[in-house]
Chains A and B, each alone.
Chain A
Amino acid sequence: DAKTTQPTSMDCAEGRAANLPCNHSTISGNEYVYWYRQIHSQGPQYIIHGLKNNETNEMASLIITEDRKSSTLILPHATLRDTAVYYCIVRPYYGGATNKLIFGTGTLLAVQP
């Protein structure tokens, strides 16, 4: 079962920040939050992951609440090419059987011109 809850869809104006929320109220201490995205019918693409500190890379920022029960993925300047389904996934960091990714239905982000 997916351990995360995300809105089904969101809109964002091109050039503005896109803030995608995710609830993971049952997250355990050794689980990280991962974000992937899937542009129409392509293979999913890794975006970012984090444990408890905020993280930033060239694609996005990840803000995790202090109680770790929710997080927000931020695309600082959304472009039309960012239109995709965004998946929030929680899983332990290291391998073993728990290396599997469990995808929910994600959030369809539509960036509007």
Chain B
Amino acid sequence: DADVTQTPRNRITKTGKRIMLECSQTKGHDRMYWYRQDPGLGLRLIYYSFDVKDINKGEISDGYSVSRQAQAKFSLSLESAIPNQTALYFCATSDSGQGKGKNEQFFGPGTRLTVL
């Protein structure tokens, strides 16, 4: 089973609809992240969470909100979707970075979202 899962994998919606993308992890990591990727570009950070009570905005948080329901779950919401939010969305997790850990981020398979 995959360590980081995302649902749905593909979604087509209309402008103005509310959309929730979900991420779950079984790695026991404290930290979780949401990124978006546009064609031909690298990933950009939307939101990140260092624990259940800690939520932080990333580079491009406008138009998005998140919820950390539990250590293992981190959801991304688009309250009113617009076409320029059409992108590939990735969730990632990492440990706290203390000690001799690699501080590596583990990514989910991605959610392809199309807003018409």
Interface residue ranges, A against B (CB under 8 Å):
2, 41-46, 49, 87, 93-97, 99-106
Contact = CB atoms under 8 A, between A and B. Distances in A.
B73 interface: no
Dominant SS among interface residues on chain A: loop
Interface in B52-98: 56, 58, 88, 90, 92, 94, 96-98
A95 B90 contact: no
Interface residues of B, number: 31
Interface in B17-49: 31, 33, 35, 40-45, 48
Contacts of B92: 43-44, 101
A75 B58 CA distance: 32
A95 B97 contact: yes
Contacts of B110: 41-43
